[in-house]
Structure 1
Amino acid sequence: MNDVTTLFRTRIGVPTTERVAFENLDMMLEKTARSIPFENLRVIQNATTNITPGNLVDKILHRHEGGLCYELNTLFYLVLVENGLDANLVRGIVYDHAAQQWSKSGKTHVTIIVTHDGQRYLVDTGFGGNLPLKPVPLRGDIVKSNNGEFRVEKANSEYGNYVLSMKLKHKDDDWKLGYAFDSEKVMKDFSELDEIQKVILEHPASPFNKRRLVTRLTERGNIVLTDTSFTERVDGDVRKIEIDNIMFEELLRDKFGMESH
């Protein structure tokens, strides 16, 4: 089923001569973050489909849409496994900084654990603007990337046994919580992803069923499109404009290469 890798390479602009290996995951993660938007348009339109390899390939690689964590990380996981990497999907719970508490929608974050040379790493390409862009070891080392500093530390709680913290470039002066996850509870079945999608669709505390959101990283920052605004961050400078629905459609096409359904 090497088709997924071929289509994925095309989508993110990686030549077929580049091996998909642990050693070049930094490059893969960076290109993925700049090519595939983190977005919730199908959730808002109530037009989601079951999470299957075929549906993910169709949505993200054929139709050039983006997705949320349970779509983006699952697709990346499929590519990793197809290329012989030791990868597993696990669930996490995001820290809600506005409410100063763990998300009331529960363990709806999906991320990847990769084991390489006896060492485990967190690999995430589905965390919006908070992407580490590199594998983060599960032993507390600080990893620095174009998006900031990241670390994963052991922290046993009802939410899991590890916590990802981050200090985003041009945004954070201090470390802040990202999410907690359980490295031991590996997802065995894609039906779990459908359950997560159902919570994202229906839960009152879900941050993704209220308004449209489309975002991706750029060379020097990121861009964020919502129903009412378009924000562009370049080297820490922020430019924000108010928009209407016609501008939304234009920006969606011009900046993200997507069309509304």
Structure 2
Amino acid sequence: MSELNALFRKRIGLPEDEPITFESLERVLEKTAQTIPFENLCIIGKKTYDITSENLVDKILVRKEGGLCYELNSILCFFLIENGFEAVLTRGVVYNNEAQKYLTIGRTHVTILLTHGEQTYLVDTGFGGNLPLKPVPLTGETVSSANGDFRVKKVDTEHGDYVLEMKLRYKDTDWRIGYAFDSRKPISDVTECNEIQKIIAEHEESSFNKHPLLTKRTNGGNLTLTDSSFTQWDHGNMTKEKIDNARYNELLLKHFGQ
């Protein structure tokens, strides 16, 4: 067993001798979402690094940090391949539902396409609080999880040939767009993510280079921490606390171990 495979299993609490099947991916995705936070602390601290498999193992599995989509989905994709799955990374463009338009900073979302039984599925553990927590087929079929309803529709846009749509549990009453992606243009090498990291770290329209943001799943919902607030969703009940820097550091250590 490779170092990556063993360390990933250890990080999310999965036995080394447990085989990973397509049917068990839901459990893997839930454990990953509850263990490895979506967070931008390296971007905020200006401590970015070259995106390589070795550096991802060190950051996420050895130092037990979290990361953004290009880190979280890259390490998960490597893990899936190590366990016999046919998986590739591809890029997408996130949709801003408030402005009713796609972000203009480019194809900065990274997601996974997994092929199983002659069917392709979207797998994503790097979309903040919007995780499907299950493989979503590229057929338009709705998949329901603890986080809501998700579907992938064949829609040709300037950003790709498919669109992820979602209806988050307790939050959305109607379907909304998550992002568009291109299944025809897989990422050939993970180092392509360095271009994405540079945009996210430096672009003035990037939402991740201004304030710290951390979020992860819990048994009943999710936690979201910024430098000014702490929000908890638990079985449909939302509590939000305004915080100062001392409280931020306390919650950072308590809930995210950093």
TM-score normalised by the chain length of structure 2? 0.98
- The 3-state SS of whatever aligns with 1:80 is helix
Query: 1:164-243 to 2 correspondence within 5 Å?
Result: 164-243=164-243
Query: 1:154-169 to 2 correspondence within 5 Å?
Result: 154-169=154-169
Q: Aligned letter for 1:44?
A: I
TM-score normalised by the chain length of structure 1? 0.97
Is 1:61 equivalent to 2:64 in the alignment? no
Distance 1:211 1:91 in 2: 24
- The 3-state SS of whatever aligns with 2:112 is strand
User: Structure 2 unaligned runs (5+)?
Assistant: none
Q: Which residue of 1 aligns with 2:139?
A: 139
> How much has 1:247 moved relative to structure 2?
1.1
> How much has 1:83 moved relative to structure 2?
1.3
Q: Which residue of 2 aligns with 1:257?
A: 257
Distance 1:99 1:71 in 2: 27
Is this contact kept in 1: 2:74–2:190, CA < 8 A? no
Q: Which residue of 2 aligns with 1:103?
A: 103
- The 3-state SS of whatever aligns with 1:56 is helix
Q: Aligned letter for 1:200?
A: I
Is this contact kept in 1: 2:114–2:123, CA < 8 A? yes
Deviations 1:96-125 (A, max 9, x none): 122221011111000000000100000000
Q: Which residue of 2 aligns with 1:26?
A: 26
Distance 1:21 1:252 in 2: 34
Q: Which residue of 2 aligns with 1:129?
A: 129
Q: Which residue of 2 aligns with 1:76?
A: 76
Greater mean alpha carbon deviation, residues 62-71 or residues 234-243: 234-243
- The 3-state SS of whatever aligns with 1:251 is helix
Identity value in percent: 56
Q: Aligned letter for 2:205?
A: A
The runs of at least 4 aligned residues of structure 1 exceeding 3 Å deviation read none
Deviations 1:171-228 (A, max 9, x none): 0000000000000101112231000000001111111011000000111110000010
Q: Aligned letter for 2:248?
A: F
- The 3-state SS of whatever aligns with 2:84 is coil
User: Structure 1 unaligned runs (5+)?
Assistant: none
Distance 1:208 1:22 in 2: 33
Distance 2:45 2:116 in 1: 40
RMSD: 0.9
Deviations 1:144-170 (A, max 9, x none): 000000000100111100000000000
Distance 1:232 1:116 in 2: 35
Distance 1:61 1:34 in 2: 14
Distance 2:99 2:201 in 1: 20
- The 3-state SS of whatever aligns with 1:255 is helix
